[in-house]
Structure 1
Amino acid sequence: MKKRTWIFAGFLAGLIFFIASWIGSINFLMGGTIHSGDLIDQYISFFAYFQHTLLHDFSSISFSFSNGLGGNTAGNWGYYLLSPFNFIALLFPTKFLPQALYIIILLKVMVASASFCWMSKKLHHLADPWAISLAVAYALSSYVITYIGNLMWLDAIAFLPLLVVFVTQLSKGHFS
């Protein structure tokens, strides 16, 4: 059976992030809050609107007075729904959106670690301890932690190692 060190790296980064955010009082699941970035003001209000529109009033999907002085919301829908993780917000009642957003952040940190570990094994054939250590360091770097308040930026961090692998494969002619 082939080893899946990238799964371990993802869970390890998630566990460390969970504990560190609990200690730092930014873990929404444990009563903390995040005061930086657009998370509280922008993302929670949009996801509340997202839930209301999709689950209760689908007719308001194309126009909203909450969009400035009123206007088309197609750009907003496109921006926010580019991330597949954002659909997790639909699984939670509106009053638990901060917890949903924390779970989304936690999953993105885990995916960042897992994808970096996979990249380091695929491209550099690193030994498991090195690959896991570098992956956890990447996922928990200060750059990542700084951007937890800006939810959309975490997608780029999570998927960048996958993009590096695919571009490397493409440059070697391994893809048609």
Structure 2
Amino acid sequence: MTRAHTPSIPPVIEADEAEYRDSGVPSTVAIFGHPLHPLLVTFPIAFLTGALGTDVGYWLTGDSFWARASFWLIGVGIVSGLVAAATGMSDFVKIDRVREHSAGWAHMVGNVAALTLSAINFWLRWNDQAGAILPIGLILSLIVATLLAITGWYGAELIYRHKVAVIGYGPNHRPQ
């Protein structure tokens, strides 16, 4: 069903309405139509930003508990980040719409940088968990948390503005 052009509706609004009706592009890695990448990214985001919190905890208290917690949070953040990266990279490689927008590139490059800096941070702490925190470990954790906030913004931009990795069932699906 198409709507005839009405002089009372400016063409710009009609273009926005057409974009709004765009059903989007489903993720290449999904279960029953539900994309996995948005689910999986919550884990590395939580672990790696949590490491910033435990680094601050160590800085304020000097308690080695916080140093051990940071070490494990960073390690698990890297592992879960690699799993999330695999699903995200699948969408990046297989969905043209992701690569067509600067948000897709910023999201991918920023997350690769965050994982790389996290690996460096983890390696620095390997033999001396507490000694590596001040100042370089804390600085790296702060940079990673900031990068994740920025790349999270771009990821949301891809989903909500460009409609990438939305739930998709094909052109004949009608919501119940």
Instruction: Report the TM-score, using the length of structure 1 for normalisation.
Output: 0.33
Mark the structure with the bigger radius of gyration: 2
Instruction: Report the TM-score, using the length of structure 2 for normalisation.
Output: 0.33
